[in-house]
Amino acid sequence: MNAAAVVRGLGVIAAAGLLFRRSPPSAEPINESARMLLDLPVGVLLLLDDDQRVLYANTRIERFLGYSPGEVEGRRLPELFDPRDRSQIVTLLQDHVPGDPTVSGEFRGRRKDGSVVPLQVVAQSAVVTEMRGSKVSGVYLRDFAERERLVEALASRAAQLARSNRELEQFSYIASHDLQEPLRMVGSYTQLLEQRYGPQLDDDAREFLRYAREGATRMRELIDALLSYSRLDTRAEPFQRVAADDVLNLALTNLRGALLQSGAIVHRTPLPTVEVDRIQLGQVFQNLLGNSVKFHGPKPPEIWVGAERRGAEWLFTVRDDGIGIPPEYQDRIFIIFQRLHTREEYPGTGIGLAVCKKVIERHGGKLWVESTGVPGEGTTFCFTLPVERAPLPSPPVEEPVVKQSKVEAMSLIEERLKELV
Amino acid sequence: MPQPEPSPRPVQILIVEDNPADARLVREVMRDSKILNEIHWVPDGVEALDFLYQRGKHAKAPRPNLIFLDLNMPRKDGRAVLTEVKADEVLRRIPVVVMTSSQAEEDVARAYDAHANCYVRKPIDFQQFHQVVKTLENFWFSTVELPVR
């Protein structure tokens, strides 16, 4: 049993006591947010009077013992256990020294359907408070079997993730090697045919050959795009603090040709410093600005880039005055290879926005589009990045899966406690 | 720059490559070469060593002046062939050009560790492929000196 976890769990009881005391007995004893807190999935929390009767039980009891809170409230705690364990529980609660949590061994909890579930009782009367002239103490029930199940579920989930990561890496290799091979043959031999026999062929034959060659080229572009998409995770650089202005500068330099050709005007306001994979943020700027340049109306495009603070996040915007995106298509544009135009109208593979979305999401942000779809009213792409990147919890040395989940649950509780108490 | 004299005896090139279409591509590029050449093709590592040691149906095989070696092949792969060739006191003088579609850093490093003379990635575009084969031909048969035997 992890002693620290018990102590933390008891913090919940302390808070429950406080909440209980704050509410006048006549009023709703537990308010909505308190209920949410007390129902966090860490175990059954009970508040008992000095007769060991249940004053309050959180809804977790339903999963542990099959009773609803209403069904146990008013009953004595020992009644929820096997008759052979009852006297021990009575003693444990009576002998319990205030100020020091008493942790029991394993007791046989009796479920509503009569089946037995191994439970551990944690008594804590340091939080005793007065209510309706009666002392209230907190008791916490833990289920080892449940914990085991949780551990197993987490472990199998972790294994599943590791497997799918391996498959993704495998896929990258297949895409870069095995798929390129046959494609190289198609491309090379159609070129060789055109080169050597082109003059002897008629117009039809040359046209057919051209389509075959273009198909191979297109296929290669798609494979390259797929590969770069899958590498966003496998070939990522560590996050570092960079001036987003520098990242934008580089993106604009890379786009210089297209910007000059289209006569685009870019307006910009100063951008903040952010903690990112700078190459990937560069890709985002380049793809979004590239789209603005590409999808412009009859006149040269005008583009506005800016950022503003929104609480714990930076909100970046890239706005243009181009052809816009009708609302009915807006959820499709972030899917890989989805395109809204023929290649003759606007060339491209349809990877750009899928890459942007994946990059922003793996940085803990969101990316979305705002557009009326009316040509000339343009499109605004918005994305967020956290202002401060939360430091990762120190890596667990042993039992990584269990501790991690416990730490998360506990810090969540502590957060809620700070808000409430 | 003086043009290389067409040599009286053709240079012998061994292509070790499981894909016949790929081997043919090298042959097609070499067809227009100013250098008189003979191309020999074997589809895997086992036959490559038979050719080099003049065994079985390759008993009368000539000693190649240059080997184009693919890495991923059935039966015996290019890495194994490279290791055996470079461990042989006579065969190790033959320049081995590892030519593969793999761009894995590990493959590159391992090839040089095994004393490959160079590592070339097969370009996907035919024009580039043509260019690469021409460059190799020019380098190995016009620029550098090769051992007589």
ipTM: 0.74
For domain A240-388, give the fold.
Answer: Heat Shock Protein 90 (3.30.565)
Lowest mean pLDDT, pick from A61-70, A163-172, A285-294, B16-25: A163-172
Give dist(CA A56, CA A49) in Å, integer: 10
Contact A191 B101 (CB under 8 A): no
The stretch B99-104 carries a mean pLDDT of: 80
Q: Calculate the average pLDDT of chain A.
A: 77
* Residue A28 binned pLDDT confidence (cut-offs 50, 70, 90): very low
Give me the mean pLDDT over the A346-374 stretch.
Answer: 88
A3: alpha, beta or left? (left if phi > 0; alpha if psi -120 to 50)? alpha
> By the CB < 8 Å criterion, does A191 face chain B?
yes
Contact A181 B25 (CB under 8 A): no
Higher model confidence: residue A136 or residue A189?
A189
Number of domains in chain B: 1
Q: Chain A residue closest to B22 (CA)?
A: A185
Top pLDDT among A410 and A302 is at A302
Lowest mean pLDDT among A390-394, B59-63, B65-69: A390-394
**Nearest Cα residue to A106 out of A82, A125, A124, A137:** A82
**CA–CA separation, A83 and B130 (whole Å):** 88
Q: Is residue B91 part of a domain?
A: yes
By Cβ distance, the residue of A176, A181, A188 closest to B126 is A188
Residue A231, pLDDT > 70, answer yes
More confident residue, A167 or B95: B95
Q: What are the counts of helices (DSSP H) followed by strands (DSSP E) for chain B? A: 5, 5
Is the CB of A197 inside 8 Å of chain B's CB atoms? no
B124 touches chain A (CB under 8 A): yes
Provide the pLDDT for residue B3.
59
Per-residue pLDDT at B80 exceeds 70? yes
The correct answer on CATH 3.30.450.20 for the domain covering A3-145 is yes
* Position A266 confidence tier, pLDDT thresholds 50, 70, 90: very high
In this structure, what CATH number is given to the domain that contains residue B41?
Answer: 3.40.50.2300
User: Over 80: is that where the pLDDT of A157 sits?
Assistant: yes
Domain of residue B28, residue span = 11-139
Contact B124/A185, CB-based, under 8 Å?
no
Q: Residue B66: which of B130, B128, B15, B27 has the closest Cα?
A: B15
Which residues 14-43 on chain B approach chain A with CB closer than 8 angstroms?
19, 21-22, 25, 28
Interface probe, candidates A177, A183, A184, A195, chain B, greatest B C-beta count within 10 A: A184
Q: Which residues of B touch A219 (CB under 8 A)?
A: none
Write out the residue limits of the CATH 3.30.450.20 domain(s) in chain A. Answer: 3-145
Q: How far apart are CA A242 and CA A282, in angstroms?
A: 11
Residue B1: inside a domain? no
Q: Which is higher by pLDDT, A419 or A99?
A: A99
Q: Among A181, A189, A191, whose Cβ lies nearest the Cβ of B101?
A: A181
